[in-house]
Amino acid sequence: MTAKFIRSAANESQFLRDGVKTAVFAGRSNVGKSSVINLLTGQKNLARVGGTPGKTAHVNYFFIDETFYFADLPGYGYAKVSHAEKLRWAALLESFFLKPENIALGVLVTDARHKPTALDAQMTGLFRQAGIPFITLANKADKLKPSQLQPALSLIGETLRLEEPPLPVSSVTGAGKREILSEIFNRLKGSADNGTD
Ligand SMILES: Nc1nc2c(ncn2[C@@H]2O[C@H](COP(=O)(O)OP(=O)(O)O)[C@@H](O)[C@H]2O)c(=O)[nH]1
Ligand SMILES: [Mg+2]
């Protein structure tokens, strides 16, 4: 697979709306969204890991196999973010989801160890309202004992009222990578081509 960083969009005029099917990654800040993108693309330093949470919100775009985009949304829920920054984040996301034509798939990244938050539920609401099919990942699965995994996945699935339980993944061990990649590519390839108009 090839993966190339394209741009960091700070406002609507910088969003990529050129007809390329896009998978958009969302999740709480520090949940491991950037680590998951690096795992899936096989490039350790493609998305920046462990950057200061709550830093100015951008949407980072990556070109995958010169066919699809992965878009990394700014993380939410970091307590120390200023009110002004939260408003900026909300405005950025609102404008992002206003024209969801090219967004073929949402990828919600959650933490396998924790019950999803109200903000996670809001994110699923955004996907549902925009008519964007989405899958849910439960990252940091390496932090759970094998016996804890199924109950944890059930809790996430029930809390977010998912049709299918979340897919476990560990950005540290790589567990789950193959299954998730095939799920994402199957969904992207199978999605309707709405074009740009
Ligand atoms: N144990 C464990 N740590 C992880 C995993 N994924 C990410 N992390 C760590 O979680 C922190 C946040 O990761 P990052 O990818 O920057 O999260 P983001 O803010 O959601 O993009 C970093 O310290 C990562 O090393 C995982 O699967 N297992
Ligand atoms: Mg990140």
Note the pLDDT tens digit of each residue in 106-133: 999 999 999 999 999 999 999 999 999 9
Neighbours of 197 (CB within 10 A): 5
Q: What is the DSSP letter of 74?
A: P
d(CA 63, CA 86): 28
CA atoms within 13 A on the CB side of 90: 10
Residue 195 lies in a domain: no
pLDDT of 55 reads 61
Ligand nearest to the CA of 74: 2
Mutational pocket test of ligand 1: of 8, 49, 58, the residue with most ligand atoms within 8 Å of the beta carbon: 49
d(CA 12, CA 154): 37
Q: Structure tokens of 39? A: 């795992």
Number of structural domains found in the chain: 1
pLDDT of 192 reads 77
Ligand 1 atom with minimal separation from the 38 CA: 15
Give the distance, in angstroms, between the CA of residue 147 and the centroid of all CA atoms in the same chain. 26
Number of H helices, E strands in the chain: 5, 7
pLDDT of 79 reads 80
CATH number at residue 97: 3.40.50.300
The three-class DSSP label of residue 126 is helix
pLDDT of 140 reads 98
Q: Structure tokens of 149? A: 């995994």
Ligand 1 atom with minimal separation from the 29 CA: 19
d(CA 79, CA 127): 23
pLDDT of 197 reads 46
* CB of residue 170 inside a 6 A radius of ligand 1: yes
Which structural domain range is residue 186 located in? 3-190
Residues of the chain falling short of pLDDT 50 = 196-197
Taking CA atoms, 139 is separated from 33, 39, 48, 93, 169, in Å, by: 8, 11, 17, 23, 5
Residue 196 lies in a domain: no
pTM above 0.85, yes or no: yes
Strands 103-111, 22-27: pairing is parallel
Strands 134-139, 103-111: pairing is parallel
Residue 173 lies in a domain: yes
Q: Edge to edge, what strands does the sheet with 103-111 contain?
A: 3-9, 59-64, 68-72, 22-27, 103-111, 134-139, 167-168
116 contacts 160 by C-beta, under 8 angstroms: yes
Q: What is the DSSP letter of 133?
A: -
d(CA 21, CA 54): 28
* CB of residue 140 inside a 6 A radius of ligand 1: yes
